[in-house]
Structure 1
Amino acid sequence: MSVLDLRPGINQALPEIAEQVTPVPLERPFLIGWSEVLATELGLKAEPERYLSQLNGEGPFPVPATAQVYSGHQFGGYTPRLGDGRGCHIGELGGMELFLKGSGPTPFSRGGDGRAVIRSALREFLASEALHHLGINSSRALAVLGSQTPVYREQVERGAITVRVSRSHLRFGHFEYLKHSDRVALRDRLFEYSLHRDFSHCQGDAPFSAWFMAVVERTATTIADWQAAGFVHGVLNSDNMSILGETFDYGPFAFLNRCDPSYVPNHSDEQGRYAFDQQPGIGWWNLQRLALAFAEHFDDALIQQALSHYETTLVNRYLERMNGRLGLEASNDTQARLDLISGLIQMMTRQQSDFHQGFRQFAHLDPEQEDNPLAQLLSQDPDWQSWWRQYRQQLNFGNLSEWQQQRRYQNPNVVLRTHLAQQAIEAAEKGDMALVKHLHQALCHPYDDHPDFPHFSEAPPSWAQHLPLSCSS
């Protein structure tokens, strides 16, 4: 057995924000998924099975396993005490925090069993690696362990553990909890830890405001990336928001199938609070909740400055991404480019075009030809001819082959559609890990063609357009 070289981290530096826990290992664990790329980055050289005991929560652990406490605004209402209810921190490796999600109950489980199941563990593993390889800030996943441990949900399922890897697990909710439970001195110590570890560039005369503006920028950047990629997080509660802007706490997430800005993947979100097109506004709403946790340090002028910075960062990042996807000329006419992009989204919505296949057509587009793959999708729309003329006026176009190659590496060929994840889950639950491995490899190379698996790039069948998802997904 090889042993992970785990080091102390935040929970040893600030023991007041966490409680020691004893992981409950899975019965007869086995490996379902393993990220060789991430393992290499972490300096792991042995075969993954040699780390299985530690990743299953059996130890040895040089530092005690811990669960953190925090609070958060959930669907708009404040819940004063949450925490890591189904997982534990086991230390740092290569400057990254390792977390075993599904390792049993903690003091914050609120009566739950503290377990994850194969479907939720695999979805997080595949999604976090997929977003990372799309260049979107995300927590990572080193491994998924399956088991024979029975877990009781709507039906009996089998327990699993996702080994989550993150630069920091600090959430907006950590600071909310300490502020609203009148532990301001500890909040300030946690702030100092975060400042020195991850925001050293914000040290100076006004560290609180500089730190907050940095969190604003990271949040806006990530949400802009989601909007450009057609990704819906599903549950943007403030306790699911990372101060580093990492995509975090995967649950009922989804990539769009048909272009539908109002799409809601979580069947529990009856009001559509966390719909795809609501994510930019919700990001700012959560940042306001974070600001309230530092109310004595911020005034109205800073909040207005932060709002302006949020909006500017989000728009500029979104335009940067979408310029690349469409091949647009960068210009100072922000509104003209936003109108052009919005016009395309509206046409794709009216024509019920597949979001990802629609954008992938730009990799095959010859802008000098009227008869082209994009026209075949959208030419029946009444706005097509007008849009096409405006688009050609704003193109950054040179050599056709080079232009198409650039579009190829801006518009992914493979994304983690819900039905692909479900197919991999069903195969894994029957003991066949091949599909998980092939899908994971394709998601790590999302812009390439995968001729052995053409269905990875196809639009889903009609039955899979809107598969229901829940917070346990």
Structure 2
Amino acid sequence: MKLTDVILTTPYLDLSTIFYHEVSPTPLKNPLLVSVNPEVAQLLGLNPAHLNDKELENLLNGTLLLEGSRPYAMCYAGHQFGYYVQRLGDGRAINLGALNGWNLQLKGSGVTRYSRQGDGRAVLRSSIREYLISEAMNALGIPTSRALALISSDEKVARERWERGAIVLRLAPSWIRFGSFEYFFHTNKHKELESLADFCLQESFPQFIGSEDAYLKMFAEIVKRTAELIASWQSVGFNHGVMNTDNMSAIGITIDYGPFAFMDTFESGYICNHTDAQGRYSYDNQPRIGYWNLERLAHALSPLVTHEKLQSELEQYGNYFTNQLMQLLRAKLGLDTTQENDSDLLRALFSVMENGRIDMTPFFRTLSRYEGNRDALLALTLAPNQLNEWLERYDVRLTDNSSSVDERHRQMLRTNPKYVLKNYILQEAIDEAEGGNYTRVNDLLRIAQNPYDEHSDFERYAGVTPPQHTNLKLSCSS
């Protein structure tokens, strides 16, 4: 299918106008197509070979309106750093419509009713980061929004400095957030709250429609998906940075990539967002914040379901999180059986990584080829004695495996990525792109989508992060 054959649908606009604001994108000056993602094009039913660059550029810039499209921004509220803000909404994102079960959205496409004092724009720096990280997360098996394409421009946008304006076309099965429900609860619009819940069921949880306690079952599924999502983040050392309730997906996927990081040197209290002075969204606090955010969602749903029932489902969060994390970490260690003391072994490992200032990704990748010779692993730590002690325990634990050493290696190499898009790697692509060279962006797209493969030209990205780039902090405009 060609882009000009696409017919979008806009079922969200069947809701009352209080849910959205119909608004057209504001084009950027002299747009330039930076990158196209063939994998996502196919996901949408588009033939990458038949994508016309100029048409795609115009689509992202808002000057090409596809058949059936009625652009709109969504209204929602949210708790930002623990404080309730009564109306937020899509302040710089405009929805185009749905295709093949995906809702297309332009981020950075201009002012909407919900922009407040914002300019409705995104900069090239943040757009590159979101474009690439969504694809990296997907390739790691972590539920996420996706990205089809990215444009730059000659438009100047003021952030900490003047930067190039950009737009990324991102997509998700749903853009409904915890904060969407909060908006209608806190404004006492319970009829609209019920309409939103019905829409969410239809869009994302049709298996519960018509069943008794459908809203409760939907909430229970959101609890499970959110817990498992955050366990997945923890397993790869991912720090979201801004887990406000307006940035939490009602279908349990990762959305709204602002300041984020794949951890370099393991640091349990790592904070990737320099705005987060208190460490609310630090790496080790993510599981607790996930629960706190779900409490806010339960409160918002209380006109539809009794508090007692919602709380009962919420209390399953810890079990979902722990079970998923343990499953993922056992796989990272190549353990194919379950032992009661596995949690002790894993806690000890994270203590060893922190004390030895071990870079998480190359450590697990090196461990994936471990046969007893410890030299390569010991070279990664500043506390070799502690790591040696842990490896003694690990050697004993491996004797419980039913698989062969070769089978363990194969499974671990499919589980532990060789490449994650650390912030210093992304910054290299950003620096080149700001100078007009977009080659590295497309190189990183290929690496992001194939993180377990060998990329001989980029071997240095698989090593320990250079000390001067370790565990950087970023701004909310990143």
Both structures adopt the same fold (TM-score exceeding 0.5): yes
1:8 equivalent in alignment to 2:12: no
Q: How does 1:260-339 map to 2 (within 5 A)?
A: 260-331=267-338, 333=340, 336-339=341-344
The residue type paired with residue 473 of structure 2 is P
Q: Relative to structure 2, which stretch is displaced further, 452-461 or 124-133?
A: 452-461
Q: How big is the shift at 1:235?
A: 0.3
Q: Relative to structure 2, which stretch is displaced further, 294-303 or 319-328?
A: 294-303
Q: Which residue of structure 1 lines up, in the alignment, with residue 160 of structure 2?
A: 154
Structure 1: runs of 5+ lacking an equivalent: none
CA displacement, residues 397-437 of structure 1 (integer Å, 9 cap, x when unaligned):
53222221211111100101001111101111111111111
- Aligned with 2:442 (options 437, 447, 467): 437
The answer to whether the Cα contact below 8 Å between 1:34 and 1:143 also exists between their aligned partners in 2 is: yes
Q: Which residue of structure 1 lines up, in the alignment, with residue 107 of structure 2?
A: 101
Q: How big is the shift at 1:151?
A: 0.9
Q: How big is the shift at 1:467?
A: 2.6
The answer to whether the Cα contact below 8 Å between 1:252 and 1:470 also exists between their aligned partners in 2 is: yes
Q: How big is the shift at 1:472?
A: 0.7
Distance 2:52 2:474 in 1: 31
Structure 2: runs of 5+ lacking an equivalent: none
The residue type paired with residue 100 of structure 2 is G
Distance 1:70 1:301 in 2: 26
Q: Which residue of structure 2 lines up, in the alignment, with residue 21 of structure 1?
A: 23
The count of residues paired between Structure 1 and Structure 2 equals: 469
The answer to whether the Cα contact below 8 Å between 2:20 and 2:73 also exists between their aligned partners in 1 is: yes
Distance 1:156 1:380 in 2: 44
Q: How big is the shift at 1:22?
A: 1.6
The residue type paired with residue 268 of structure 1 is T
Distance 1:225 1:146 in 2: 32
SS in structure 1 at match of 2:457: coil
Distance 2:114 2:28 in 1: 20
- Aligned with 1:47 (options 46, 51, 54): 51
Q: CA distance change for structure 1 residues 154 and 380 in 2, over 3 Å: closer, same or farther?
A: closer
Distance 1:82 1:6 in 2: 30
SS in structure 2 at match of 1:409: helix
Q: Which residue of structure 2 lines up, in the alignment, with residue 346 of structure 1?
A: 351
The answer to whether the Cα contact below 8 Å between 1:347 and 1:381 also exists between their aligned partners in 2 is: no
Distance 1:282 1:48 in 2: 43
1:388 equivalent in alignment to 2:391: yes
SS in structure 1 at match of 2:394: helix
The answer to whether the Cα contact below 8 Å between 1:4 and 1:51 also exists between their aligned partners in 2 is: no
Q: How does 1:71-470 map to 2 (within 5 A)?
A: 71-203=77-209, 204-331=211-338, 333=340, 336-366=341-371, 369=372, 371-377=374-380, 380-395=383-398, 396=401, 398-470=403-475
The residue type paired with residue 169 of structure 1 is W
Q: How big is the shift at 1:40?
A: 1.1
The answer to whether the Cα contact below 8 Å between 1:413 and 1:448 also exists between their aligned partners in 2 is: yes
Q: Which residue of structure 1 lines up, in the alignment, with residue 61 of structure 2?
A: 56
Q: CA distance change for structure 1 residues 55 and 378 in 2, over 3 Å: closer, same or farther?
A: closer
The two structures, once aligned, show a CA RMSD in angstroms of 1.7
Q: CA distance change for structure 1 residues 276 and 401 in 2, over 3 Å: closer, same or farther?
A: same
Q: CA distance change for structure 1 residues 4 and 148 in 2, over 3 Å: closer, same or farther?
A: farther
Q: How big is the shift at 1:31?
A: 1.3
The residue type paired with residue 153 of structure 2 is S
CA displacement, residues 379-406 of structure 1 (integer Å, 9 cap, x when unaligned):
9455445433332333225322222121
Q: How big is the shift at 1:9?
A: 2.5
Q: CA distance change for structure 1 residues 108 and 4 in 2, over 3 Å: closer, same or farther?
A: farther
Q: How big is the shift at 1:378?
A: 5.0
CA displacement, residues 5-30 of structure 1 (integer Å, 9 cap, x when unaligned):
14222432214210111211111111
Q: Which residue of structure 1 lines up, in the alignment, with residue 40 of structure 2?
A: 38
The answer to whether the Cα contact below 8 Å between 1:209 and 1:302 also exists between their aligned partners in 2 is: yes
CA displacement, residues 233-264 of structure 1 (integer Å, 9 cap, x when unaligned):
00000000001111010000000000001000
Q: CA distance change for structure 1 residues 372 and 463 in 2, over 3 Å: closer, same or farther?
A: closer
Q: Relative to structure 2, which stretch is displaced further, 400-409 or 215-224?
A: 400-409
Q: Relative to structure 2, which stretch is displaced further, 210-219 or 387-396?
A: 387-396
**Given the two structures, how large is their TM-score scaled by the length of structure 1?**
0.95
CA displacement, residues 129-151 of structure 1 (integer Å, 9 cap, x when unaligned):
00000000000011111011111
Q: Which residue of structure 1 lines up, in the alignment, with residue 74 of structure 2?
A: 68
Q: How big is the shift at 1:438?
A: 0.8
Distance 1:425 1:346 in 2: 34
Distance 1:379 1:364 in 2: 21
The answer to whether the Cα contact below 8 Å between 1:4 and 1:93 also exists between their aligned partners in 2 is: no
The answer to whether the Cα contact below 8 Å between 1:139 and 1:247 also exists between their aligned partners in 2 is: yes
Distance 2:417 2:267 in 1: 18
The answer to whether the Cα contact below 8 Å between 1:364 and 1:373 also exists between their aligned partners in 2 is: no
CA displacement, residues 33-61 of structure 1 (integer Å, 9 cap, x when unaligned):
21111111111122251322122111224
SS in structure 1 at match of 2:415: coil
Q: CA distance change for structure 1 residues 199 and 464 in 2, over 3 Å: closer, same or farther?
A: same
Q: How big is the shift at 1:206?
A: 0.8
Q: CA distance change for structure 1 residues 387 and 421 in 2, over 3 Å: closer, same or farther?
A: same
Q: CA distance change for structure 1 residues 454 and 378 in 2, over 3 Å: closer, same or farther?
A: closer
Distance 2:336 2:64 in 1: 55
The residue type paired with residue 220 of structure 2 is M
